[in-house]
Amino acid sequence: MTRGTIRGWYLVHKWTSLVCTLFLLMLCLTGLPLIFHDEIDAALGEPTVAGPASASAAPGLVPLDRLLATTLEARRGDVPLYMGFSNDGPVTTVTTGPTPAADADRMTMRTLDRVTGATAASTGFGADQGLMALLLQIHIDMLAGRWGMYFLGAMGALFVVALVSGTVLYAPFMRKLDFGTMRTGRSRRLAWLDAHNLVGIAALAWMAVVGTTGIINTLATPIQRAWQAGELAEMTRADAGRSALPPRRYTSLDKAMLAARAAFPGMNPQFVAFPGTAFSSRHHYAIFFQGATPLTQHLLSVALVDAETGALSDARAMPWYVRALSLSRPLHFGDYGGLPMKLLWAALDLFTILVLGSGLVLWLGRRRAPLAARLRELESGGRIAAPVPAE
Amino acid sequence: MTRSTFAMPALLGAATVIGLVAALTGDGWRDALGWIGLAAPVAAIGWGWRRRT
């Protein structure tokens, strides 16, 4: 590698890192407790209801129409928007709002028990839902909405470029060093340099996967809109000219569910999007099914059922770009392999903080040294330390 | 030069990716393979720290 090449990669590494480091530190710090949100929620006394899964077709479960009627009785004037199911218990959520196109902060979600039919809880979407919800929102968009989310996506992209350029620079730095070299006994700067290189290269694949899937997650809204404008529009082309179906003419949801289940035998529904919402057309129940195996449970298929007649209109697997988004969620959150995996996720998160922090320390320590001296330090594997210039 | 510099990092990267995918595609032994794969980079860092000079 020539001096000029190293210089170019060094400058790319320095600037991409500097711009994204503080935001990445925030993401690592807020992400750390989020890894354990299930355990923390359980410890804080979130109610858990035992019983058959609300997503199943187990006998004795309360009909969906009854859950819907119970909810709409309590929310007079609202229209149904979404109904969500669980694979672990009888919990069912029903989301309503003043109109099908209502913003999330005007929606109300009620939690019902599908064994007893009773209402367990009611929350507004904009309501304060505790510290974990706040941490999650900061992690997603820094409380700055859609543009905050895209901004963090851009910071993620810079982070990935910093990973690539850092990997390129690892080659000249390690040219005469063995893997795992940690020289802590000479100077503090050399210890930081070695720690930055060892931890950075060892955690590289994990940081690249979590970084890339994080970027994809920030694109959830455009991905969903692309599906709605593309494939969903194509599936409902026959109804394009019809006016919106008023809620009083909705047919039985249980009947619609029966028709949808017939299209995906062996699979269970994850949620229903009612007509007019962001995930459906103006005339259909869009019933989203998840696969029955650990891999396919992240991959959704959709059955569109005519909300007036209860007849199946179309049923398909979601396209590749929605599947990529679906797989990006578990790969980013690390919540799919039990507690040992979460602990390793936390360890790698802490190592990422170490990489970011050591990078910052290394830059702060020699930011006034001539570039040539810093490049010489890099190429010598840290043996020729860049001098601290006299003030 | 490049081969030896990147031999160990490539192994650790492969272990990480195999672990991430294995745990995603199933439970039981696949989760266990996931833990082993993700433990590899963590162990490598611990190993480097233990033999620090």
Q: What's the pLDDT band for B26 if we cut at 50, 70, 90?
A: confident
Question: What residue in B sits closest to A328 (Cα-Cα)?
Answer: B24
Ordered strands of the A284-290 beta sheet:
A119-124, A108-113, A91-97, A79-85, A268-273, A284-290, A300-306, A312-317
A345 C-beta neighbours (distance < 10 Å), count: 21
Does A162 or A238 have the greater pLDDT score?
A162
**CA nearest neighbour of B26 among A293, A49, A23, A185:** A293
Residues A241, A281 contacting (CB under 8 angstroms): no
The pLDDT value recorded for residue A126 is: 43
List Cα–Cα distances, A347 to A86, A202, A344, B45, in angstroms.
30, 12, 5, 11
Chain A contact probe: residue of B30, B38, B51 with most A CBs at under 10 A: B38
What value, to the nearest 5°, has the Cα angle with vertex B15 and ends B11 and B18? 135
C-beta atoms of A184 and B48 within 8 A: no
pLDDT, tens only, A30-43: 999 999 988 887 78
Tokens matching residue A334: 């690390």
Could you tell me which chain B residue has the CA closest to the CA of A336?
Answer: B24
Q: Determine the distance in angstroms separating the CA of A355 from the nearest CA of chain B, rounded to an integer.
A: 12
Distance CA A288, CA A236 (A): 16
SS percent in chain B: helix, strand, coil, step 5: 85, 0, 15
Whole-complex ipTM: 0.96
Distance CA A352, CA A202 (A): 10
Counting residues of chain A whose pLDDT is more than 70, the rounded percentage is 96
- pLDDT confidence bin for A127, thresholds 50/70/90: very low
Mean pLDDT to the nearest integer, A118-132? 69
pTM to 2 decimals?
Answer: 0.89
Average pLDDT value for residue range A17-40:
95
